[in-house]
Structure 1
Amino acid sequence: MKKILLLLPVLLFLNLNAQTEFGIKAGYNLSKMKWDISGFDDYQFKSKSFFYAGALAEHHLSDKFSLQAELLYTELGGRSMAEEITDVVGNEVIVVGTNATTFTTSQLQLPVSAKYYVAPKFSFSGGLNFGINVSSKVENTFNSEITPNGKTNLFKTLNIFPFLGTEYQFDDHFFVDARYHFNFFNAAIDNAPPTKIGFVQAGLGYRFK
């Protein structure tokens, strides 16, 4: 009896380990940013493209259901339309240049999702992506004292993005997946313009089995 009790933790560990898969993934990230200012039309920024890369762990609860957690690195943000920069010289207002502003925040993301397998190789997922801002910056095409480049504290340290996604497995190792992250929550600090960011991720992955 004692031997059986001693073996139970080992058997439990082996069972959990057998149900858990680890892997890596990388792909394309496209973010869309806007300022949601009450009483005004939303200011839409141009989309920002970047990559994402990281690792995952998927724990199978059954043949149909699993839980997945990931650690990814990517960038989010947007680019404004070009606008004229003016200055007053004497009694005249002159155009000194044009400027477009790009906001960028580098993030470590921790997506946590529940997955449902419609078929053995095809699944849908939904969950929350917790984005931790590592650094944020603003870049202007017209760099001057009027529009300086450098770090910005526009974004909160932690952003939350609900998402829906799908995945298809080619075999036991390779898969493709895609997700859309909704812009439900304000990503900016309290005294900054309310900022909403939604983004799409699509890429390839490899599971170690």
Structure 2
Amino acid sequence: MKKLLLIASVAMMGVVANAQETRFGVKAGYSLSTLKYESDLGSESSDPSHTFYVGGMVEHKFGDKFGIQGELLYSPLGGKTVIKEEDEDNPGNYFNLKSKTTLGTLLIPVSAKYFISESFSVSAGASFGVILSAKNKTVFDGGLNIPGVEIGVDAETDIKDQTNTLNIAPFIGAEYMLENGLFFDARYNLGVSNLVKNPEFNETSKNSFFQVGVGFKFGGN
């Protein structure tokens, strides 16, 4: 009886060991990032900012269907606003405004994964963003229909002191991996943290972003 229990225990340990799989990897891709502003005066969303992400990841698989994944990524997120106005009756009266907010962010996404097949999986989790830098660049030029008179501004402002450090964004995503470890993934992150540090009129600014990219996993069975 003891021998049977010992054999069964060894067999079970072997099954568990074989069922668990850990892979490390690298990934990079494209991010489409927006900022949504709200206050007592109303709400609006920025135009999307086209940017990138790059970093590493680790995946641990439990059996054939479930796994967890952690990542460490860097991405300059944010959003931009573009306004162009011209007086149709007086073409010399115009103004153009471009304002871009860039949030240099260290992302720590943590997710649970479900493997529909060996190659295809879906995931859900949250991305914990640590904002390392925050800057706003404003470019403005205008005319008053007065010969020789134009107005122009080109300035960059550090807004880190006015920006909260933590940006939490729950996400859902999907991944497809080839047999050689090359994978493709896509993810939508919904910003829920208010990035305005000291709001005076109930202002909120939330950062959401879509990611699509490619990576490579090492290790595993």
Q: Secondary structure at the match of 2:140?
A: coil
- Aligned counterpart, 1:202: 212
In structure 2, what residue type is equivalent to 1:204?
V
Please, what TM-score do these two structures have when normalized by structure 1?
A: 0.80
- Once residues 27 and 96 of structure 2 are traced to their aligned partners in structure 1, the CA distance between those partners, rounded to angstroms, is 39
Q: Secondary structure at the match of 2:110?
A: strand
The correspondence of residues 1-209 of structure 1 with structure 2, limited to 5 A, is 15=17, 19-40=21-42, 42-82=43-83, 97-142=95-140, 148-153=155-160, 154-191=162-199, 193-209=203-219
Q: Shift of the alpha carbon at 1:39?
A: 4.6
Residue identity matched to 2:183:
F
Instruction: Tell me the residue number matched to 1:91.
Output: none
8 Å CA contact 1:26–1:52 kept in 2: the answer is yes
Deviation at 1:19, TM superposition (A): 2.1
Structure 2 residue identity aligned to 1:151: D
Q: TM-score, normalised by structure 2?
A: 0.76
Runs of at least 5 residues in structure 1 that lack an aligned partner in the other structure: 1-10, 85-93
CA RMSD of aligned residues (A): 3.1
- 8 Å Cα contact 1:105-1:155 kept in structure 2: no
Say if 2:138 and 2:153, in contact at 8 Å, map to a contact too. no
Cα separation, 2, equivalents of 1:73 and 1:149: 22
Greater fraction of residues in strand = 2
Q: Distance in 2 between matches of 1:129 and 1:100?
A: 29
For structure 2, the residue ranges without an aligned partner over 5 or more in a row are 1-12, 86-91, 142-150
Q: Could you say which structure has the larger radius of gyration?
A: 2
Q: Secondary structure at the match of 2:208?
A: strand
Match of 1:3 in 2: none
Tell me the distance in 1 between the aligned counterparts of 2:79 and 2:191.
13
Identity of aligned residues (%): 35
Which residue in the other structure is 1:8 paired with? Answer: none
